[in-house]
Amino acid sequence: MKSLGVILALALAGLQLFAVTVVVSSSYFTSENTLLEHARGQLVDVGTNVIQHTKWFMSPARSAAELSTALAENQVVRREERDHLEGLLFQQLRSAPQFAGVYYGDEQGNFVYVKRDGTHEYLTKIVEIGAQRRTQFISRGEDFASIGSHFDAADTYDPRTRPWYQQAKAQRTSIWTDPYIFFTSQSPGITAATPVIGFRGLVQGVVGVDIEIRELSNFLAQLRVGKNGAAFVLNRNGDVIAHPNPALLTTVGEGGTLAFPSITQIDDPIARAAFGERLTPDGVTIETQIESDFEHAGERYVSLIMPFGLDDIPWTIVLYAPEDDFIGTIKANRTQNTLIAIAVAIATAILGLALANRIHAPVRAFAVRSALISQGEIDPNEPMPRTYKVLENANTALVKEISQRKKTETEYRLTFDKASRGMVHIESATGRLLRVNTSFAKLLGYREDELVGLAFQSLLDPDERDVLTEFGDSIAQHAAFGFEAKAIRKDGEPVWISFNGIFFQADGEGENYIVATIDDISQARASEEKIETLNREVAHFSRQHMMGDLATGLAHELNQPLTAITQNIDAALYLIGNAPDRTDEVRGLLGEIDQQAHQAADIIRALRVLVRKDGNIASVFGIRELIEQARRLVLSEARQHSVELVIAKGPELEVSAVRIQIAQVVVNLLRNSVEAIADSASERRVVTVSARQVGDFVQVNVEDTGPGIAEDLELFTPFETTKRDGMGLGLSISRSLVEANGGRIWHDGSSARSCFCFTLPLKGT
Ligand code: ADP
């Protein structure tokens, strides 16, 4: 009961847990994907926003530089009108709060520079290259009124040596410098520079506008990227040029100058992780937006890397935010749902236990009731409580099944025991007899119990080697099989049996076994042997005389002269009767001739009759079976000369031919082989017959270990013989018989031994 309850409880709880887990995780993964998708969308929006802002922030600088250049090119302001130029630069400086300074340098090295100096004040620097170089600094108030001025004789500043000047001059168009840290304000900035091109296309000077890009960092600091995310901007060389924490943006670079930190060095590990290993020796080479995930300090983040996509601003923005900013709530929810699932599973387990108890209670009651009935405590006829009905029905079905099985078994046992044929069960692994019936025991003259346990093979004649091998092979192959063999009775007498076995696969732990029926065929065999002897005689007779057309012709031809001889001798006797001298002697001699001649004529007539009697009707038969029968005809002759006749193993092949004619051919070939070996002193004395399928034909080979064909002998030619009493007709008759049956016969000269082959059409071809 305990195990039933526990199994039920566990199964129910497990099922519940599984179902809830499937639902919870499926909904979790779906919403997680949706939210992360949304998060990425948000990052794209923020990124685009930053890029727009930057554009808006930077474009006035270029406009200012280009405006000043236009004015300069059109001679609206000339350098000589220094005050005028300074006023123009001042106006531009005031037009945008992000401008830090505006200036103009020319080809002679003259330089006018207006920059912010404190919150409301301005400072102008003027370098004049006249007969003598002069550098003047003028401080100005908010309204541009001079507050004070001084000269600096030590100043050596030359605008023509500055990168912004050289770059704009070289490219002859507006350029942005790479961001750098402004020396005076120590804050990050960038310069827009535009060349002033004079009359003959010569560069006269360059206008520059400095912008502080700290504002960009401030903007990033105010951005909301998820709850805890951030964004930063990289220059093409991998320097971080804007970051929500501006304090991280300056480091001391080579030669003690201030520089931006590289993304690989910035003191912000999450930012480093967000950009990952994407910095190449060529700098930042990101061309399209990259969405990815990364992990830092055990937390997962979503990230987005976007190139600015503005031709002249080669910057890249990187945005990232912890995944939990977006999916934190559903994660918490998942834990909560899992806890609920566990609680439900526990409740189900308890329910399962209770249910098991309920199921088991009637079974227990039923057992108690049975025990009480068996002890006579309750009357079995008392009506059953309703709960037992189902059990009772199941029980009835089971009992019916058992009795049906018993009945079948009894029937089989009776059939087996009382059968008039011998029946046995044989263990397939060993061939041991497991069970035998009375008829089988009687057949072999044993008691049944003497046979059980004996190997079936031990009951066969040990000379039946082929059968014993076949028996061993068949039981190992678990195949149905049958054979005829000589068995030895308990009293030592031989008895011919026919065996037919079927293989049975054991269903449980038992051994596999064979059920076989065994019949006594001694009588059938005896009559078969009689027929065989008869056959042999007939065959012998036919071999001598069945010569087909040839023999018929021969007989006809012979009959004529023989009749003439008789007539002539009669006449001679008559004449001699009239001559008186030596009459008795001649009469006696001629009388004998007469008698012999009549006898010869009679024999030839008989031969003709026999030839006519042979009904040439084709039938379908197994060639191996026929070879076996032919073998038997030649067996005694072979034994006499110690020659072994072997039939090579192989499947049965059915041919369509006149059976008696083919038997004749096989007997002829076998006899030729036996006679060839008989006349020789060969040590190996074997004739091997084999049959196999070749295309639509069956080919039979008769091969012997005799001396081979004599030299100069023309085989298949009538009257060609090497034998003293041979007729030289066997092979030619065989040829006419085989060809009449649609086959071919030849001697295979390739073998050192003699090998005669013939073919016959397969059944149905
Ligand atoms: P015969 O009855 O005279 O043997 P066959 O036509 O059967 O006439 O054979 C002709 C001759 O072919 C035989 O005399 C024998 O020399 C030779 N011959 C036939 N079969 C064999 C064989 N298996 N081995 C050697 N010679 C053979």
- Provide the phi-psi class of 297: left if phi over 0, else alpha when psi is between -120 and 50, else beta: left
Nearest atom within ligand 1 for CA of residue 733: 6
> Which pLDDT does position 3 carry in this prediction?
62
Range of 195-199, 257-261, 279-283 with top mean pLDDT: 279-283
Backbone angles phi, psi at 295, to 5 degrees: -125, 135
pLDDT in tens, 725-741: 777 778 888 888 898 89
Residue that wins the pLDDT comparison between 47 and 530: 47
Residue that wins the pLDDT comparison between 752 and 550: 752
Instruction: Calculate how far, in angstroms, residue 752's C-alpha sits from the geometric centre of ligand 1.
Output: 16
Instruction: Calculate how far, in angstroms, residue 753's C-alpha sits from the geometric centre of ligand 1.
Output: 13
Instruction: Calculate how far, in angstroms, residue 737's C-alpha sits from the geometric centre of ligand 1.
Output: 17
Among 540, 711, 712, 731, the mutation site with the greatest number of ligand 1 atoms within 8 A of its Cβ is 731
Backbone angles phi, psi at 543, to 5 degrees: -60, -40
> Which pLDDT does position 390 carry in this prediction?
64
> Which pLDDT does position 552 carry in this prediction?
42
Instruction: Decide: helix, strand or coil at residue 291.
Output: strand
Instruction: Calculate how far, in angstroms, residue 671's C-alpha sits from the geometric centre of ligand 1.
Output: 9
Q: Measuring from atom 21 of ligand 1, which residue has the nearest CA?
A: 672
Mean pLDDT of 72-96: 78
Determine whether 142 is exposed, middle or buried from the number of CB atoms within 10 Å of its CB (0-12, 13-18, 19+).
Answer: exposed
Instruction: Calculate how far, in angstroms, residue 714's C-alpha sits from the geometric centre of ligand 1.
Output: 10
Give 247's DSSP letter. G
Residue that wins the pLDDT comparison between 3 and 729: 729
Lowest-pLDDT range of 175-189, 572-586, 631-645: 572-586
> Which pLDDT does position 269 carry in this prediction?
93
Mean pLDDT of 26-39: 82
> Which pLDDT does position 511 carry in this prediction?
74
Task: Tell me how far CA of residue 299 lies from CA of 24, 322, 324, in angstroms.
Answer: 22, 7, 8
Lowest-pLDDT range of 74-83, 403-412, 435-444: 74-83
Residue 660 pLDDT > 70, yes or no?
A: yes
Q: Measuring from atom 9 of ligand 1, which residue has the nearest CA?
A: 728
Using a 6 Å CB cutoff, which residues line ligand 1? Answer: 672-673, 676, 704, 706, 708-710, 713, 715, 720-723, 726-731, 754
Q: 610 falls in which pLDDT band (50, 70, 90)?
A: very low
Q: 636 falls in which pLDDT band (50, 70, 90)?
A: low
Instruction: Calculate how far, in angstroms, residue 728's C-alpha sits from the geometric centre of ligand 1.
Output: 7
State percent of the chain over pLDDT 70: 83
User: Is-same-fold flag (65-206; 419-520)?
Assistant: yes
What does the block give as tokens for 564? 């003439």
The three-state (H, E, C) secondary structure of 474-514, written as one string: HHHHCCCEEEEEEEECCCCCEEEEEEEEEEECCCCCCCCEE
In 3D space, the residue among 207, 224, 208, 213 whose CA is nearest the CA of residue 190 turns out to be 213
Nearest atom within ligand 1 for CA of residue 716: 6
What does the block give as tokens for 68? 């000043």
Residue 2 pLDDT > 60, yes or no?
A: no
Task: Report the alpha-carbon distance of residue 290 to residue 276 in Å, rounded.
Answer: 12
Residue 509 pLDDT > 90, yes or no?
A: no
Q: Measuring from atom 22 of ligand 1, which residue has the nearest CA?
A: 673
Residue that wins the pLDDT comparison between 603 and 114: 114
Nearest atom within ligand 1 for CA of residue 729: 6
Among 675, 722, 727, the mutation site with the greatest number of ligand 1 atoms within 8 A of its Cβ is 722
Angle ∠(164,191,111) on CA atoms, nearest 5: 55
Nearest atom within ligand 1 for CA of residue 727: 3
Instruction: Calculate how far, in angstroms, residue 634's C-alpha sits from the geometric centre of ligand 1.
Output: 16
Q: 547 falls in which pLDDT band (50, 70, 90)?
A: very low
Instruction: Calculate how far, in angstroms, residue 721's C-alpha sits from the geometric centre of ligand 1.
Output: 6
Instruction: Calculate how far, in angstroms, residue 535's C-alpha sits from the geometric centre of ligand 1.
Output: 23
Instruction: Decide: helix, strand or coil at residue 259.
Output: strand
Q: Measuring from atom 7 of ligand 1, which residue has the nearest CA?
A: 730
Strands 146-151 and 175-176: unpaired
pLDDT in tens, 117-162: 876 689 999 999 988 899 999 999 888 888 889 999 899 899 999 8
Beta strands of 323-473 (E only): which ranges? 422-427, 433-436
Beta strands of 107-202 (E only): which ranges? 111-116, 122-129, 133-140, 146-151, 175-176, 180-181, 188-197
Mean pLDDT of 632-653: 85
How many CB atoms are located within 10 Å of the residue 633 CB? 22
Task: Report the alpha-carbon distance of residue 369 to residue 363 in Å, rounded.
Answer: 10
Q: Can you spell out the DSSP letters for 294-328?
A: EEETTEEEEEEEEE--BTTB--EEEEEEETHHHHH
Instruction: Calculate how far, in angstroms, residue 715's C-alpha sits from the geometric centre of ligand 1.
Output: 8
> Which pLDDT does position 572 carry in this prediction?
63
Amino acid identity for residue 198 in this structure: G
Nearest atom within ligand 1 for CA of residue 718: 6
Nearest atom within ligand 1 for CA of residue 672: 20
Mean pLDDT of 324-351: 81
What does the block give as tokens for 40? 């990425």
> Which pLDDT does position 549 carry in this prediction?
37
Task: Report the alpha-carbon distance of residue 49 to residue 51 in Å, rounded.
Answer: 5
Beta strands of 47-198 (E only): which ranges? 99-106, 111-116, 122-129, 133-140, 146-151, 175-176, 180-181, 188-197
Among 672, 682, 685, the mutation site with the greatest number of ligand 1 atoms within 8 A of its Cβ is 672
> Which pLDDT does position 565 carry in this prediction?
65
Q: 550 falls in which pLDDT band (50, 70, 90)?
A: very low
What's the number of CA atoms in the CB half-sphere (13 Å) around residue 73? 18
Backbone angles phi, psi at 643, to 5 degrees: -110, 135
> Which pLDDT does position 701 carry in this prediction?
95
Range of 104-113, 346-355, 466-475, 476-485 with top mean pLDDT: 104-113
Nearest atom within ligand 1 for CA of residue 702: 23
Task: Report the alpha-carbon distance of residue 183 to residue 192 in Å, rounded.
Answer: 17
Residue 384 pLDDT > 70, yes or no?
A: no
Residue that wins the pLDDT comparison between 686 and 373: 686
Does domain 215-322 match CATH 2.40.70?
no
Type and span of the H or E element at 324: helix 324-374
Instruction: Calculate how far, in angstroms, residue 440's C-alpha sits from the geometric centre of ligand 1.
Output: 49
Type and span of the H or E element at 274: helix 269-275
- Topology of the domain comprising 528-761: Heat Shock Protein 90 (3.30.565)
Instruction: Calculate how far, in angstroms, residue 590's C-alpha sits from the geometric centre of ligand 1.
Output: 38
Mean pLDDT of 96-105: 89
Among 721, 724, 757, the mutation site with the greatest number of ligand 1 atoms within 8 A of its Cβ is 721
pLDDT in tens, 512-545: 888 899 998 888 787 677 656 555 554 555 545 4
> Which pLDDT does position 533 carry in this prediction?
59
Residue that wins the pLDDT comparison between 730 and 478: 730
In 3D space, the residue among 719, 716, 765 whose CA is nearest the CA of residue 745 turns out to be 716
Instruction: Please list, in sequence order, all residues whose beta carbon lies within 8 angstroms of the beta carbon of residue 214, skipping any fewer than 6 positions away.
Output: 187, 188, 189, 246
> Which pLDDT does position 1 carry in this prediction?
47
For tokens 């080669």, the residue is 314
Q: Measuring from atom 17 of ligand 1, which residue has the nearest CA?
A: 709
pLDDT in tens, 611-625: 444 456 788 989 998
Instruction: Please list, in sequence order, all residues whose beta carbon lies within 8 angstroms of the beta carbon of residue 742, skipping any fewer than 6 positions away.
Output: 657, 760, 761
List the CATH code of the domain at 65-206: 3.30.450.20
How many CB atoms are located within 10 Å of the residue 553 CB? 11
Type and span of the H or E element at 363: helix 324-374
Q: 558 falls in which pLDDT band (50, 70, 90)?
A: low
Nearest atom within ligand 1 for CA of residue 673: 23
List the CATH code of the domain at 419-520: 3.30.450.20
Residue 380 pLDDT > 80, yes or no?
A: no
Mean pLDDT of 561-581: 65
Per-domain residue ranges for the chain?
A: 2-52+328-361, 65-206, 215-322, 419-520, 528-761
Backbone angles phi, psi at 140, to 5 degrees: -130, 150
Angle ∠(264,268,271) on CA atoms, nearest 5: 70
Instruction: Calculate how far, in angstroms, residue 717's C-alpha sits from the geometric centre of ligand 1.
Output: 10
Strands 251-252 and 258-259: antiparallel
> Which pLDDT does position 239 carry in this prediction?
92
CA 663 to chain centre: 54
Type and span of the H or E element at 754: strand 754-761
Instruction: Calculate how far, in angstroms, residue 619's C-alpha sits from the geometric centre of ligand 1.
Output: 29
> Which pLDDT does position 598 carry in this prediction?
66
pLDDT in tens, 214-251: 888 988 999 888 888 899 999 999 999 999 998 888 88
Task: Tell me how far CA of residue 751 lies from CA of 205, 644, 692, 701, 747, in angstroms.
Answer: 114, 20, 18, 12, 10
Determine contact, residues 191/176, Cβ cutoff 8 Å: yes
What does the block give as tokens for 747? 């001697």
What does the block give as tokens for 21? 């887990």
Nearest atom within ligand 1 for CA of residue 704: 23
Task: Tell me how far CA of residue 70 lies from CA of 77, 195, 197, in angstroms.
Answer: 10, 10, 9
Backbone angles phi, psi at 172, to 5 degrees: 55, 30
Instruction: Calculate how far, in angstroms, residue 672's C-alpha sits from the geometric centre of ligand 1.
Output: 6
Instruction: Calculate how far, in angstroms, residue 266's C-alpha sits from the geometric centre of ligand 1.
Output: 111
Give helix 522-545 / helix 659-678 axis angle, nearest 10°.
Answer: 80
Task: Report the alpha-carbon distance of residue 210 to residue 93 in Å, rounded.
Answer: 9
pLDDT in tens, 49-58: 988 888 888 8
Residue that wins the pLDDT comparison between 548 and 474: 474
**Maximum pairwise Cα distance, the chain:** 201
What sign does the CA torsion over 659, 662, 666, 668 have?
A: positive
pLDDT in tens, 669-710: 998 999 999 988 888 899 999 999 999 999 999 999 999 898
Nearest atom within ligand 1 for CA of residue 715: 12
Q: 585 falls in which pLDDT band (50, 70, 90)?
A: low
Angle ∠(64,68,69) on CA atoms, nearest 5: 115
State percent of the chain over pLDDT 90: 28
Type and span of the H or E element at 231: strand 230-234
Q: Measuring from atom 1 of ligand 1, which residue has the nearest CA?
A: 728
What is the pLDDT of the chain when averaged over all its residues? 82
Instruction: Decide: helix, strand or coil at residue 471.
Output: helix
Give 622's DSSP letter. E
> Which pLDDT does position 700 carry in this prediction?
97
